[in-house]
Amino acid sequence: MIDPATNALASLPHGPEFRFLDRLIRLEPGKAGVGEYTVRGDEPFLRGHFPGHPIFPGVLLVEAAAQLAGTVAQSDPEIPPMSGMKLTAMRAVKIVGTARPGEIIRLEAYLTGRLGNLVQARTLALVNGNVIMQAEITLSGEAGAETENKQ
């Protein structure tokens, strides 16, 4: 049997320059996941955010959490993957801390609901055990080719 976490990151449509999920620590397919991103310090956006005092942008914390939530959703063994999955809504977003070069951002995503092509998740980002971002997000996608061919 293949470990679902082994190939789950392959479901991300993002190119390497816009991928904020380095590794999966835990995956409960279709339910929850934990991942990590190491802030390397050489990311181009850090040069301007902020010169001399770089911090990982809060909006990219939300993006990283959305990438993890999408990975969790696409790994559900009962529901075919959706194409074109993207972040479509954010609620209750709170950015209460920062991540700096050399720090590891721990991401957590818990799917809270699905309805058709919509996926809802509660997400967190932590550094050194401290919550630095929390958000409720909605992802949307299109039915996979397998589903479309059956209609």
Tokens 């709170």: give the residue. Answer: 94
**Catalytic site includes residue 49:** yes
The kind and range of the H/E element at 37 are strand 32-38
**H helix intervals, 54-127:** 58-74
Amino acid at 15: G
On whether the CB atoms of residues 47 and 57 are closer than 8 A, the answer is: no
**19 class by beta-carbon count within 10 Å (0-12 exposed, 13-18 middle, 19+ buried):** middle
- DSSP label at residue 40: -
Q: Which of 13, 22, 49, 79 is catalytic?
A: 49
- Amino acid sitting at position 116: G
Q: Which residue numbers are catalytic?
A: 49
